[in-house]
């Protein structure tokens, strides 16, 4: 068995890492108010794999022998646990289906190639033998981009890139690194940091996702304001396709026709397997500081975020939670465990009391975090400019204490979904991007859409949001929703999620800013890029992969859409929902 790290088979991340609420006194009352349930102590430490009812592999002996011949028998695995780990990503519905033994169609074999030549041989064999190849990075897809089509009759091969995990070279003069696609975030940063460099790309899923996966899904990290989205970071790449390797050299910029680089970024395995990437890397910053600010209202906070951009302050990130998310965030504060922390908690209560006296509605206030990197002087200058902008919008500067806490906790939140599922609650996300001029409308309409779904289901549901990645022209809004589920969970989830997604499109926003398309978002592609645009993309996939051997059914024309659970073929016409 190859030495490749995987997430736990039944949920997010690693075994023995849990979300706990007993040390957070405000959490259970907040959940009760938000979704009307009483939290129980966590029961589930792990799930015994013996409970999984795994469909048998359908691979023939002849096919397995051919794959063994390419990657070596140890690196072609048909054993159940490995196939289950590779059957889906970590969308909440993937996790739920796994826990409920609802494996629609799982890979018949998982192969771990150890070189680009082996990937080429696999690709050629897949076309020759009419196999389905699904590239696998960290398995953190949240848009159902890894599952085989449920009705797939052919042999399905999951191609795990985990053995291709090295930083191969760094062009120190140009700040460019050549890195293998299967490297996980922490392993890559460790190799870069040891030579004084960083990629600066830190998605929330950083610990369990790979460079190749980021490229294939058009990922964006929390520090994209400074380092760019993955599409800005990638300068060149190797993609293995039937008939040969596409090599795109690392170039700062080029005007050689439509961009092949852009075409492969976001292709979700449909155009071939990415084996190597040339990426921009940066020297680690001399100083890094995260400062927290409290704004009286969402509108004032959002205005401040836009003004920071207008003033060209060049922050590393600038993010603001709306009032609901601020309430949630405050409710996850731990009970003080020392005298110092007790004094600090009392100080916070006193601060809120003063703010109320000054006319603040503490239910409307919104917390923001801004990260600064650079030399000492540079950081000080940026902080000063932002302080002026924030105060101009009525903000209180909370300082670096809460900022540092946010920075430490940033990769923990995903574990909350596993905990909530155990409590019979779905907690999931929808994210989008829109021009600054549309953001308030997008926010309002997503709330209304979720609320209408909750009402139709007769549920007390919760929605909250933050603005994360920002650009000259606009920003990303990230929504989290939660509600108690019943036996009819497929219908309930589909109703809430489709309402929110449709509200994005109807409000002039995109159907996804950084989670990609997969099967989850594919029904809206025609509305997102226009029917003629979708046709052009269809033509590309048909020409590039006439046998539909490369992750078919993703991005466009997925058979397995949320509308199935609603008994419909496709989304309503644009605007019909509002
Ligand atoms: C809790 C949680 C938090 C998340 N936070 C973020 C976030 O902050 N920012 C963000 O951008 N995303 C986020 N995601 C989504 C996910 O982490 C990204 O889509 C990520 O880029 C996927 O990388 P991966 O290596 O896990 O790819 P996988 O999930 O393994 O694969 C994703 C898709 O890419 C294809 N693929 C993978 N590797 C290759 C390759 N080498 N060549 C060709 N195709 C390939 C797969 O076939 C599949 O279609 C989050 C997901 C979860 C569950």
Q: Is 185 in the pocket of ligand 1 (CB under 6 A)?
A: no
| Domains of the chain and CATH, by start | 51-160 (3.30.43.10), 167-283 (3.30.465.10), 287-409 (3.30.70.3450)
Q: Is 269 in the pocket of ligand 1 (CB under 6 A)?
A: yes
> Token pair 């899904």 is at which residue?
217
Give the residue numbers annotated as catalytic, written as ranges. Answer: 478
Q: Tell the residue nearest (CA) to atom 19 of ligand 1.
A: 141
- pLDDT < 70 regions, the chain: 339-346, 578
Q: Is 7 in the pocket of ligand 1 (CB under 6 A)?
A: no
Residues making up the binding site for substrate: 417
Rg from Cα positions in the chain: 24
CB 123 within 8 A of CB 240: yes
- Calculate how far, in angstroms, residue 537's C-alpha sits from the geometric centre of ligand 1: 21
- Calculate how far, in angstroms, residue 385's C-alpha sits from the geometric centre of ligand 1: 36
- Calculate how far, in angstroms, residue 214's C-alpha sits from the geometric centre of ligand 1: 5
DSSP-derived secondary structure for 25-88? TTHHHHHHHHH---------S---GGG--PPPP---HHHHHHHHHHH-GGGEE--HHHHHHTS-
- Of 122, 149, 204, 213, the one to substitute when testing ligand 1's pocket (max ligand atoms within 8 A of C-beta) is 213
Residue 288 is predicted with a pLDDT of 95
- Of 140, 158, 185, 211, the one to substitute when testing ligand 1's pocket (max ligand atoms within 8 A of C-beta) is 140
Residue 578 is predicted with a pLDDT of 65
Residue 339 is predicted with a pLDDT of 64
Taking the CA of residue 271 as reference, the ligand 1 atom at the shortest distance is: 43
Q: Which two tokens stand for residue 434?
A: 């829109």
Q: Is 89 in the pocket of ligand 1 (CB under 6 A)?
A: yes
DSSP state of 90: -
Q: Is 184 in the pocket of ligand 1 (CB under 6 A)?
A: no
Q: Is 183 in the pocket of ligand 1 (CB under 6 A)?
A: no
Residue 264 is predicted with a pLDDT of 98
Residues making up the binding site for FAD: 135-141, 204-210, 217-220, 268-274
Residue 258 is predicted with a pLDDT of 96
- Calculate how far, in angstroms, residue 474's C-alpha sits from the geometric centre of ligand 1: 24
List, for residues 257-293, the tens digit of each pLDDT value: 999 999 999 999 999 999 999 999 999 999 999 999 9
Q: Which two tokens stand for residue 323?
A: 């009032």
d(Cα 383, Cα 573) in Å, to the nearest integer? Answer: 46
Q: Tell the residue nearest (CA) to atom 10 of ligand 1.
A: 219
Taking the CA of residue 184 as reference, the ligand 1 atom at the shortest distance is: 25
Taking the CA of residue 138 as reference, the ligand 1 atom at the shortest distance is: 26
Residue 343 buriedness (CB in 10 A; 0-12 / 13-18 / 19+): exposed
CB 183 within 8 A of CB 164: yes
Residue 303 Cα distances to 29, 132, 307, 436, angstroms = 32, 48, 6, 9
Q: Is 213 helix (H, G, I), strand (E, B) or coil?
A: helix
């Amino acid at each position: 068995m190859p030495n490749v790290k995987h997430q736990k088979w039944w949920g997010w991340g690693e075994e023995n890492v849990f979300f706990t609420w007993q040390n957070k006194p405000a959490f259970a009352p907040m959940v009760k108010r938000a979704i009307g349930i009483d939290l129980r102590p966590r029961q589930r430490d792990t799930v015994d794999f013996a409970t999984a009812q795994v469909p048998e592999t359908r691979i023939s002996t002849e096919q397995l022998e051919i794959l063994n011949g390419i990657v070596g028998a140890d690196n072609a695995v048909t054993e159940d646990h490995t196939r289950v780990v590779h059957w889906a990503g970590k969308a909440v519905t993937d996790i739920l289906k796994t826990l409920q033994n609802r494996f629609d169609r799982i890979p018949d074999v998982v192969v771990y190639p150890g070189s680009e030549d082996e990937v080429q041989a696999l690709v050629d064999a897949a076309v020759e033998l009419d196999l389905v190849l699904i590239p696998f990075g960290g398995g953190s897809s949240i848009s159902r981009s890894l599952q085989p089509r449920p009705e797939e009759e052919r042999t399905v091969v999951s191609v795990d890139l985990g053995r291709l995990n090295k930083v191969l070279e760094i062009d120190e003069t140009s700040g460019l690194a050549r890195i293998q696609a299967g490297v996980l975030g922490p392993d890559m940063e460790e190799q870069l940091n040891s030579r004084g460099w960083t990629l600066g790309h830190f998605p929330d899923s950083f610990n369990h996702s790979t460079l190749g996966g980021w490229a294939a899904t058009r990922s964006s990290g929390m520090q994209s304001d400074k380092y760019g989205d993955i599409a800005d970071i990638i300068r060149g790449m190797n993609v293995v396709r039937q008939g040969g390797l596409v090599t795109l050299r690392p170039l700062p910029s080029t005007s050689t026709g439509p961009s092949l680089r852009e075409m492969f970024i976001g292709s979700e395995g449909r155009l071939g397997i990415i084996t190597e990437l040339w990426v921009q890397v940066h020297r680690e910053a001399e100083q890094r500081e995260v400062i927290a600010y409290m704004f009286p209202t969402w509108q004032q906070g959002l205005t401040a975020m836009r003004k920071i951009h207008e003033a060209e302050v060049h922050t590393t990130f600038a993010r603001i939670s709306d009032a609901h998310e601020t309430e949630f965030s405050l409710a996850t504060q731990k009970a003080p465990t020392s005298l110092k922390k007790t004094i600090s908690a009392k100080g916070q209560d006193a601060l809120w009391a003063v703010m109320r006296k000054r006319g603040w509605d503490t239910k409307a206030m919104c917390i923001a975090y801004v990260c600064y990197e650079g030399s000492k002087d540079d950081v000080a200058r940026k902080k000063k400019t932002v302080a002026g902008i924030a105060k101009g919008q009525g903000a209180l500067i909370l300082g670096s204490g809460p900022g540092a806490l946010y920075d430490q906790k940033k990769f923990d939140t995903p574990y909350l979904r596993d905990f909530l599922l155990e409590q019979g609650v779905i907690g999931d996300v929808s994210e989008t991007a829109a021009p600054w001029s549309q953001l308030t409308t997008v926010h309002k309409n997503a709330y209304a859409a979720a609320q209408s779904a909750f009402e139709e289901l007769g549920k007390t549901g919760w929605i909250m949001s933050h603005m994360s990645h920002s650009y000259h022209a606009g920003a990303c809004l990230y929504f989290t929703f939660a509600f108690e589920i019943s036996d009819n969970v497929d219908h309930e989830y589909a109703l809430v999620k489709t309402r929110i997604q449709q509200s994005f499109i109807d409000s002039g926003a995109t159907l996804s800013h950084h989670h990609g398309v997969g099967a989850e978002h594919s029904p809206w592609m025609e509305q997102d890029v226009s029917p003629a645009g979708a046709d052009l993309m269809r033509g590309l996939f048909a020409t590039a992969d006439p046998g539909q051997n490369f992750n078919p059914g993703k991005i466009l024309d997925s058979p397995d859409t949320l509308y199935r659970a609603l008994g419909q073929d496709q989304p309503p016409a644009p605007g019909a929902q509002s």
